[in-house]
Structure 1
Amino acid sequence: MSEYDKVRIGKLVLKGEKPKSKKRKHKKQDKQDIAKNVQDNDAVLHGGWWKAKSVSEISGTVAIEFGNSCYVKALDNGLFTLGGPHNDGEGPLPEEILTAFPVNETKIALKSGYGKYLGVDKKGTVIGRSDAVGAMEQWEPIFQDGKLALLSNIGCFMSVANDDDDIICERTTAGPAEILTIRSLSQRMEDSSKDVPTEERGSLAEVEINYVRKFQKFQDKKLRVNVENHTQLEQAKNEGTLHEALLDRRSKMKADRYCK
């Protein structure tokens, strides 16, 4: 081998040029990827049924899970029991599948595969015998510290009876026996506002205040918002010129370092 062949061949580095460091993934992105993988793995272990983490996600095809892969099961007599455990990768059986409907922002209704809505009788037993949603057929999912409990209209939480695995509502406080998971098979809806800048979320009045807070600088640190109506802003938003309209309105208030 000649002396020339022994010379290490590499990128040409000019005098005074500093080597660039390798790009590294942001730690925040790493955590997001890890969380996504964990969530996906959890869904895979449950046959594609993913864990609902907010009231807005409880809609459509769902199942109520107690413990590990044991689901609330509807019986043909209108009662409910806890089904047997499932193996990894298995979802709930047809009789363990429910349909969830939003009642309002905080409450939902649940319908069994027999077409009846879940409610509670006078003894605190969960039943599914109603053809319509009344006060007794409304449930409030309570999320706290990453855990979920389901509150009935009688003020008691859903749980499983110790002796015969019946589904009941007896306790007014949520303990370990009342902690459950609602899993969904519905397609997850993407947050339509996730790509919208924070300043542009809310009503037009709130958007204008957000931009005033961001850009206007006054010595007394008091906000000065244009008092004209927002008809012009509504038209500008429809035409795709919202930013220009906001800038024009701020320029009329003067003392704005970003306006003329």
Structure 2
Amino acid sequence: MEYREARSKKLSFKGESTSSKRSADSGATKRKAKKKRHRDTEGAATGWGFIESLDDLEGPIALYHKDEQLAFVLAMPSREESLARAESSEQTLLLHALSNESLADCVPSSVEQVFSVRRSVPTAGPADAEAAMYSLKSFTGTYLAADRHGRVSCASAAIGALEMWTPVLLPDRGDGAVAFMIRPPGATTDQFLSAADTNNPATERERSEATRSSSPVHVHSHATAIGYSQVFFAKCQAELRSKRRQAASAAQDIATLSGNIAADEATQSKHFQSFQSERLRTLAKGNVSDLDSAKQAGKYSESLLDRREKTKSDRYCK
């Protein structure tokens, strides 16, 4: 009985406000922040778009191929088929024909058509050859690989020499055009990811258009030069690409100081501030004269950091 009387109906924490006014203010702040996030996301890029640089390759990617009549998408076997083949090392990639012939309108319709692309060696420097190599991971967690005999598979659970591809942008072939080059151990020349020849006249005579549209096309890496069958068209998520570019632009703005004291302090405070409000916290304008002397002494950036530390607006300052 004593325990029931002492037990509270609601957990309370130290520093928690109990007044209804504070609760109402908190709710208004949350609604204002939600509206701000909604304004920030309005007009943002959506859907899938062609890659424009190698940086766009990092993240979810869909690969397409186009012949004279049809568009194809590179895809893994279906989820049920992949589970059935889980005990074996065979994971065949195929180019599946699409009903929509326009590459601009093609979007992935299942996880089997999406590959997660990342740099094979993220710590490689600009001078290292591995810095330009990427690995393609399927939805099953396995990586796209090719051996020196031209066999392409997707069964490796880790990244090795067989899973490190070098993408080559081909802007003259169209939007998002790219070729994937690899030199497996034991190979004497570079090899390229290729689609089986879908425009072979003999193949056209052997099967009808209806049969050709329903049958997938195999991929290989026998080719040693870039031709029609080695050109793929890569698409990435437009929203992710936009966020990456905004982050890169903001980082460049932070690294570049204009020399305008008020502008530099406001820009860095907006980037480093740790509070979640719309109010910008800087020191009083009367102390800006300290930055003039620091600028002449060559300690401009250090003084900006000291000022952010005093306002406790920098999440990296103690």
Q: Residue 132 of structure 1 is aligned with which of 158, 162, 171?
A: 158
Q: Residue 158 of structure 1 is aligned with which of 193, 201, 204?
A: 193
C-alpha separation in 2, matches of 1:120 and 1:165: 17
Question: In 2 relative to 1, CA 197–74 (structure 1 residues): closer, same or farther, beyond 3 Å?
Answer: closer
Count, aligned residues: 168
1:182 is the counterpart of 2:228: no
C-alpha separation in 1, matches of 2:307 and 2:53: 33
C-alpha separation in 2, matches of 1:56 and 1:179: 19
Question: In 2 relative to 1, CA 181–190 (structure 1 residues): closer, same or farther, beyond 3 Å?
Answer: same
Q: Deviations over 1:158-217 (max 9, x none)?
A: 11012772111112221222111111126222244546569938xxxxxxxxxxxxxxxx
Q: Residue 95 of structure 2 is aligned with which of 53, 78, 82?
A: 82
Q: Deviations over 1:47-84 (max 9, x none)?
A: x2211122211122111111164211213341111111
Q: CA deviation at 1:123?
A: 2.3
- Structure 2 partner of 1:106: 132
TM-score, length-normalised on structure 1? 0.55
TM-score, length-normalised on structure 2? 0.46
Comparing both chains, which one has the higher relative contact order based on Cα–Cα distances under 8 Å and sequence gaps of 6 or more? Answer: 2
C-alpha separation in 2, matches of 1:153 and 1:159: 14
C-alpha separation in 1, matches of 2:247 and 2:116: 24
Unmatched 5+ stretches in structure 2: 1-44, 83-89, 123-130, 185-189, 199-215, 258-296, 309-318
Secondary structure, aligned partner of 1:136: helix
Question: In 2 relative to 1, CA 236–129 (structure 1 residues): closer, same or farther, beyond 3 Å?
Answer: same
Secondary structure, aligned partner of 2:305: helix
- For the aligned residue pairs, the C-alpha RMSD in angstroms reads 3.1
Which structure has the highest helix share of the two?
2
C-alpha separation in 1, matches of 2:119 and 2:72: 24
Identity of aligned residues (%): 19
Q: CA deviation at 1:144?
A: 3.8
C-alpha separation in 2, matches of 1:234 and 1:199: 10
For the Cα contact (< 8 Å) 1:58–1:100, is it kept in 2?
A: yes
For the Cα contact (< 8 Å) 2:119–2:134, is it kept in 1?
A: yes
C-alpha separation in 1, matches of 2:171 and 2:254: 26
Unmatched 5+ stretches in structure 1: 1-39, 202-229, 242-260
- Structure 2 partner of 1:97: 114
1:149 is the counterpart of 2:179: yes
Q: CA deviation at 1:90?
A: 4.8
- Structure 2 partner of 1:121: 147
For the Cα contact (< 8 Å) 2:196–2:229, is it kept in 1?
A: no
C-alpha separation in 1, matches of 2:143 and 2:54: 18
